Structure 1
Amino acid sequence: MSENFYRAFEDRHRGTRELISQRLKVYLPFITPLLEGDGSRRAADLGCGRGEWLEILIGCGFDANGIDLDEGMLEACQERGLPAQQNDALSYLATLEDNSLAIVSGFHIAEHIPFPDLQTLVAEALRVLIPGGVLILETPNAENIAVGTNGFYLDPTHERPIPHLLLSFLTDYTGFSRSKLLRLQEPDQLKNPDHPVDLLAVLSAVSPDYAIVAQKAAALEKLQAFDEAFGKDYGLALDALAQRYDHARQNSIEEIRTQSQAQAQHGVWLESLVGQVSDRTLELEIRAHKLDVLTERLNGQVHEQLQEMHGQLHEAALQLVRVEAQAKEAELTARLEVQRIQAEAVYSTVEARSKEIEEFYKEAEARGNEAKACYEEAEARGNEAKVRCEAAEARAAELQRQLDESLGNAHLWYTRAVAYESHQRALLASTSWRLTAPLRFCARTAGRVLRSPRHTIKGIIRGLASRAVRFVLARPRLSMKLNRGLKKFPRLHQRLSNMARNRSASQPYAAAVTPMADFNVTMQGEPAPGSQRQTQRANAIYQALESAANSKVEK
């Protein structure tokens, strides 16, 4: 391979330095805990390339060194002043002491070397790493079908794809305490589980690269600092994308089936409508045909009547000839008069009959015109029905378009509603909402006091008076003394008595000796007759009657 060929190849197909540096930041949670404590901070980047990872390691505070065989790549590192040397990875690791490095990394070198050399590299890395140190091996992901069948072979120095299960097993088999699979560089939009997945995404959008991060055994408290990074999931797997694709395809099929059923129902309705229009048109055609038949029948009847009238006229003429022949023997004057009179009568009859025939013919012609008008009206209604059918079809298409638009708007508002509900739940579950709960309670209480201070003060006084009454009722001697003293103030005595009665009315009726009975003893000085045997309700009625009687006596 010619000089600087591989550097030019990397510049075109691997990506810019800025892009690679941004992608490599995913490994920071696996290396930053190594900066804590007094352990070694040395790091070795095998196949360092243009030095993007070296820059990150040095920027974090590690003593990093790059190893590469390609002179073009080493020149790129030297142009930036990065520590890099030309050497074979296995030879370099063989020169290092045990437990001397915190990090051993190799980005896209595993696919360039035979598998036995890869086994040796992993074993040497385990030897030179300090307890808790990490090995990072990144390589193309053959799980991506486009990468495994095409993209991998774009680099002429690649040996063969390495499945992630094989590389993960190799680190575990070699002796690392744990390892983590990181799928990398998948499209950002597919990280959203609701983003649609098509067949092309299943074939080419699986994470195109992956990495195995393996950690050497160490004390439990040291390993706990890495638990969060090792506990996360990274990237997109082929089976996950395939399941999302199948789910989306199934939803699409269900949606198409639903639309087809709706369109089928709409088609049945249109067919029913067209059938009704056809039946109506056929009915009109039948009626028009009947009108034609009726017109022909009327024309035939008129013709027969005319023929009959002509025959009658002929017979009448013959009759006149016979009459004239028979009357020749009569006198000429009488004959002429008779003939004149008869001729006038015949003429009048013939004229009247002719008028009847003419009127009948006109009536037949009018009926024929009416039948023709009915036929034209039926034809016009058929055309109007056809126009209405076409308008109904256009309206149905417009309704279908509006339905599709409404479904899209409904989905949009549903998505927004779900987002608002999630925001509200997050607010109610937030720490700030719970911490401010006492403040909100105090604010509501203060607001009630400020809105009605007089009502609040009366409530406090009633509560204190109620507690005082309970305190006095529990002490009979004190009650009797206060009763004698309070009789000097009738109004106050009456109000306290009512308060005691109201308190007794709120107690259960089942008590054998009610609080009202106790109050009768303490406030009046002697028990009410039968108060020990009556129910609470009876005692209350009795006390009310007694109070009314006392007030009447006092008046």
Structure 2
Amino acid sequence: MKALGCARNAFTRDVNLIQEPRFSRCYLPVVDNFVDVAWLLDDGEEFVLVDSFYRAFEDQHRGSRELIKSRLAKYRPFIAPLARLYPGGKAFDLGCGRGEWLELMGESGFAAIGVDLDGDMLEACRERGLSVFQGDAIEYLAALDANSHALVSAFHVVEHVSFEQVRRIVSEALRVLKPGGLLILETPNPENIVVAGCNFYLDPSHVRPIPSELLSFVGEYAGFARVKRIRLQESPALQEEGARAHLMDVLGGVSPDYAIVAQKSCGEADAAFFDAAFDADYGLSLAELAARFEAGATRAHEHAAEQIEQTRSEIGRLHQQTQSEIERLHGELGLTREEVDGTRRELMRAVDELAQIRSDLGRVRGDLAQVTGELRRVQDDAQHAAERLQAVYGSTSWRVTAPMRSAVTFARGAKATCKSGVRRVLFRSVAYVNRNPRLRRLAVRALGAMPGVKQRLVRIIVGAPAQSMQRKPIDDDGLTPRAREAYMAIKSAFAPDHGDTE
């Protein structure tokens, strides 16, 4: 950014040389291939607008003095041994701007001189008592004596000039420096993809980014003994050990600036003072952040693979457990289905039984209704008979015939008593005859000759009405024990001779 003043004042100088009305546009000579800067009006009003634009742009994007000095302090590992090698040595800064580097060099013991085209910038330097001059820095460098300075520096200048001018700066610096002297060239780092593709072009005075390999080769080709590339202004968070790099860090986390520190050849003893600084590593490279990103991605992939494997194992275990549970549930389901089928069958039987019970209940209800009707009729008949019987009992004829009924009852009782006595005699006689075979044969012959007497005896014994025994057999189911015994005796007595068991 400090080179903006240099480029702008060169632009002012060249415009002042063109005063003829026929010139309607101008070019900045220090820009390769004459980049078109602005269309100018004949009265110069457009130039004032361009000049104001650069001034406003620089004020907005340039950091504070303290920030710039803190960034420049990173060169102390190179400056400290140089101050010991050349105490009070001269330092020359191209495009010194507000003089932050000059101030830092004065604090380190150097006699620092700066050159810039921007008078406003130089006023800030003069306010701090810094030694500065206004003019073309490259031409001023070319005018310096050979082997006269310990340090030559140019911060953010080379991206504003042509490549041939860059080579001239390097070759003139080699001539001006003392043995062991240092050349420092700082510029935006195109290794940072965001810087190379976007941020570099925020400054319209930038010509093109210069890769660090190219700028290092320029120093080596010019004749410097050794050239060190140092990366600058990276995020402190990314510098922490083990810090993980994300994709955006790969794209924009590389050190946004870099510098080459080139040393002119000198004796081995003097060069040894700078070995530590030249051997150290500085900043973050694209390769380092990409490696971190890949390592992080690999770890994430391995972790994800472990998680996937654990998940697969867990899924397998759960699958096996689920299968066992499913099999168990299938078994229980089969038993449940059997129970349900059994319950269904029992329910169907119960339904059928219930239907049968309902049918039976209907029939019972019908029968009950019928019986109830018959019972009512019987009750009515009984009531009617009771009323008639009560009427008979209460009649005069019933009272008059009472003696006659008593006599009849007595006669019936005497007859029954007589029959009962005769029946007992007959039972004993039959039993006696049945025990004596001779008498049994005589009785059979006698009764066979008298069928009527035989039937009469049987009726007396069994108490049955006088009926033909040959038409209807006698049923012994209703006989008393004694009558059945007599009947069986008579039956066995007559069976051998006549084949009649009745």
Please give the range of the TM-score, normalised by the shorter of the 2 chains: 0.5 to 0.7
Q: Partners in 2 of 1:100 and 1:107 — Cα distance?
A: 21
2:273 aligned counterpart, secondary structure: helix
Q: Partners in 2 of 1:159 and 1:144 — Cα distance?
A: 17
2:166: which partner in 1? 118
Q: Is the aligned partner of 1:291 residue 2:339?
A: yes
1:89: which partner in 2? 137
Q: Is the aligned partner of 1:65 residue 2:113?
A: yes
Q: Which runs of 5+ in 2 are unaligned?
A: 1-7, 9-49, 361-462, 467-473, 480-502
Pair 1:221–1:291, CA change in 2 (3 A): closer
Q: Of the candidates 172, 185, 189, which is equivalent to residue 220 of structure 2? A: 172
Q: Is the aligned partner of 1:214 residue 2:243?
A: no
Q: Partners in 1 of 2:464 and 2:234 — Cα distance?
A: 139
2:101: which partner in 1? 53
1:365: which partner in 2? none
Q: Is the 8 A contact 2:86 2:150 kept in 1?
A: no
1:135: which partner in 2? 183
Q: Is the aligned partner of 1:43 residue 2:84?
A: no
**What RMSD in Å do the two structures reach over aligned CA positions?**
3.0
Pair 1:93–1:277, CA change in 2 (3 A): same
Pair 1:121–1:275, CA change in 2 (3 A): same
Q: Partners in 1 of 2:342 and 2:77 — Cα distance?
A: 102
Q: Partners in 2 of 1:123 and 1:218 — Cα distance?
A: 17
Q: Partners in 2 of 1:142 and 1:260 — Cα distance?
A: 40
2:205 aligned counterpart, secondary structure: coil
The amino acid of 2:329's aligned partner reads T
The amino acid of 1:123's aligned partner reads S
Q: Is the aligned partner of 1:192 residue 2:240?
A: yes
TM-score by length of 2: 0.58
Higher relative contact order, structure no. (Cα contacts within 8 Å, ≥ 6 residues apart) = 2
The amino acid of 1:148's aligned partner reads A
TM-score by length of 1: 0.53
2:72: which partner in 1? 24
Q: Partners in 2 of 1:199 and 1:67 — Cα distance?
A: 42
Q: Partners in 1 of 2:164 and 2:341 — Cα distance?
A: 106
2:303 aligned counterpart, secondary structure: helix
Q: Is the 8 A contact 1:108 1:138 kept in 2?
A: yes
Pair 1:83–1:140, CA change in 2 (3 A): same
1:550: which partner in 2? none
2:231: which partner in 1? 183
In the TM superposition, what is the alpha-carbon distance from 1:298 to its structure 2 partner?
A: 6.0
Pair 1:37–1:213, CA change in 2 (3 A): closer
Q: Of the candidates 162, 175, 183, which is equivalent to residue 210 of structure 2? A: 162
Q: Is the 8 A contact 1:40 1:100 kept in 2?
A: no
Q: Of the candidates 297, 304, 312, which is equivalent to residue 256 of structure 1? A: 304
Deviations 1:138-170 (A, max 9, x none): 000000000000011111111101011111111
Q: Is the 8 A contact 1:40 1:130 kept in 2?
A: no
Q: Is the 8 A contact 2:87 2:109 kept in 1?
A: no
Query: Among the aligned pairs, what percent are the same residue?
Result: 47
Q: Of the candidates 251, 255, 258, which is equivalent to residue 203 of structure 1? A: 251
1:133 aligned counterpart, secondary structure: strand
In the TM superposition, what is the alpha-carbon distance from 1:99 to its structure 2 partner?
A: 1.1
The amino acid of 2:290's aligned partner reads A
Whose Rg is larger?
2
Q: Partners in 2 of 1:15 and 1:299 — Cα distance?
A: 95
1:36 aligned counterpart, secondary structure: helix
The amino acid of 2:67's aligned partner reads L
The amino acid of 1:229's aligned partner reads A
Q: Is the 8 A contact 2:245 2:292 kept in 1?
A: yes
Pair 1:17–1:290, CA change in 2 (3 A): same
Q: Is the 8 A contact 2:95 2:155 kept in 1?
A: yes
Q: Is the aligned partner of 1:107 residue 2:155?
A: yes
Q: Of the candidates 267, 273, 279, which is equivalent to residue 315 of structure 2? A: 267
Q: Partners in 1 of 2:324 and 2:465 — Cα distance?
A: 82
The amino acid of 2:162's aligned partner reads P
Q: Is the aligned partner of 1:13 residue 2:61?
A: yes
Q: Partners in 2 of 1:47 and 1:175 — Cα distance?
A: 24
Q: Is the 8 A contact 1:4 1:72 kept in 2?
A: no
Q: Is the 8 A contact 1:7 1:72 kept in 2?
A: no
In the TM superposition, what is the alpha-carbon distance from 1:3 to its structure 2 partner?
A: 4.0
Pair 1:301–1:66, CA change in 2 (3 A): closer
Q: Is the 8 A contact 2:90 2:150 kept in 1?
A: yes
In the TM superposition, what is the alpha-carbon distance from 1:75 to its structure 2 partner?
A: 2.7
1:539-554 → structure 2 map (5 Å cutoff) = none
Q: Is the aligned partner of 1:147 residue 2:195?
A: yes
Q: Is the 8 A contact 1:144 1:206 kept in 2?
A: yes
Q: Partners in 2 of 1:45 and 1:12 — Cα distance?
A: 23
In the TM superposition, what is the alpha-carbon distance from 1:212 to its structure 2 partner?
A: 0.4
Q: Partners in 2 of 1:10 and 1:289 — Cα distance?
A: 88
2:146: which partner in 1? 98
Q: Which runs of 5+ in 1 are unaligned?
A: 311-328, 340-555
Going by fraction, where is helix more abundant, 1 or 2? 1
Q: Partners in 1 of 2:348 and 2:174 — Cα distance?
A: 121
The amino acid of 1:58's aligned partner reads G
Q: Is the 8 A contact 1:202 1:238 kept in 2?
A: yes
